[in-house]
Amino acid sequence: MFSGSIVALITPFRDGQFDEVAYRALIDWHIAEGTSGIVPCGTTGESPTLDHDEHRRVVEVCVDAVAGRVPVIAGTGSNATAEAVALTRHAKAAGADAALVVTPYYNKPTQEGLYQHYAAVAAATDLPIIIYNIPPRSVIDMTVETMARLAELPTILGVKDATADLTRPVRTRLAIAKPFCQLSGEDGTALAFLAAGGHGCISVTANVAPRLCAAMHGAWADGRVNDAIALQDRLMPLHTVLFCESNPVPVKYAAHLLGRCLPDVRLPLAALADANRQRVAEAMAAVGLLPR
């Protein structure tokens, strides 16, 4: 069962190419700061603009750099089932611990189509699969009933829930008899998600505040509820500002302010607007990540 603060890791670029040196340094930093898992090639990792060779390389470098210290949950989703199968098989061969498979975007499949898509990916490999349900980006929403049906398959072990619906973890828990890992995909509701029966968060904010995010999850796990609330309150300005423009544009700029990587993103994403650069810097200072 995956739990705690799991980072949806940015993919640093330099001169338009994957910056492997910066990526390895980010991974070492995260592990030292207490991050409990790494997700390469998710939305925050700009997977839509990585070509297949780059995607595979990022996963391979991540597995190699992590070296078994924390779990690696590789993003392998696609709106083409055959492509999702191929990426998931590669993640298994590369040594990932699980695959994060997003609901197929753009095609708008029915619930039956969703079931068959995930069943095909699950049949192709024995790698554990986490469903990534993110209606704002994929348009479609996997119902609790479809998720419960998929949970009957042996390798479907959990969900990254980015619906921001705090009834969802309760309803999912009640609908699925077996242990089922529920990870929030929304930093701003992560603590409430834990209170509703969740196990952790695949986090954007952890890219720049890994120690604080890990501390919040640790406080909750230890039963120090007031400490967890205080940490969530402290982080909230950052949770908010990191979505002032499309993710990962603000968080990459924030990581740049920490000297962790360049702020470069790939088109169609554009550089962070000047006014929002100031907002990000102010939020970082308010949280204590930069001097005031």
Task: Point out the residues that are catalytic.
Answer: 132, 160
Strands 129-133 and 98-102: parallel
For residue 51, what are its two tokens? Answer: 């070509």
Which residues 6+ apart lie within 8 Å of 196 measured at CB? 166, 167, 169, 170
**Closest among 123, 119, 92 to 104, alpha carbons compared:** 119
70: helix, coil or strand? coil
* Max intra-chain CA distance, the chain: 53
**Cβ count near 280 (within 10 Å):** 25
Question: Rounded to whole angstroms, how far apart are CA atoms 59 and 65?
Answer: 10
Displacement of CA 114 from its chain's centroid (Å): 20
Contact 149, 156 (CB under 8 A): no
Q: Assess whether the previous peptide bond of 104 is cis (omega < 30° from 0).
A: no
